[in-house]
Structure 1
Amino acid sequence: MRLGVREQRCDTQACRQSSPIVRSSRMSSESMRNDPVPEARSSASAARLAAFGWRTGRRGAAPTSSVEVVASGTWAVARLWSSPCVLTSSPLPPRSIRVVVGVQGEAEVVAGGVGSALRAGQMMVSAGDTPLSTDSSGLWARCEWRLPWRAAQHERFAPHFDRPLPLPVANHALLTSTTNALCGHPALGRSPSAGMLADVLSLIVQSAIVDATGEAMAFTTGQQALFRRAMSVIESRYADSAFDATALAAALHVSSRYLRTVFAVAHTTPRMAIEARRVRAAWTLLGSDDASHGGALTAVARDAGFSTVARMQAALRRSDAPGGRPA
Structure 2
Amino acid sequence: MTNPKFDVVAIGNAIVDILSQSTDEFLAAEGMTKGSMQLIFDPAAADALYARMGPGREVSGGSAANTIAGLAALGQPCGFIGQVADDQLGQVFAHDVQALGVHFTTPAATGGEPTGRCLVLITPDGQRTMNTFLGAAQFLPEAAVDAETIAAGGILYLEGYLWNAEQSRDAMKRAIGIARDAGRKVALTLSDVFVVEGHRDEFFALIDAGQIDLLFANDNEVRAMMQNEDIAAAVAALAVRVPTLVCTHGPAGAEAHEGDEHARVPAEAIDQVVDTTGAGDLFAAGFLAGQAQGRDLETSLRMGAICAAECISHIGPRPVADIKALVAEKLG
TM-score between both structures, scaled by the size of structure 1? 0.31
* Structure with greater Cα Rg: 1
TM-score computed with the length of structure 2 as normaliser: 0.31
Higher relative contact order (CA 8 A, sep 6+): 2
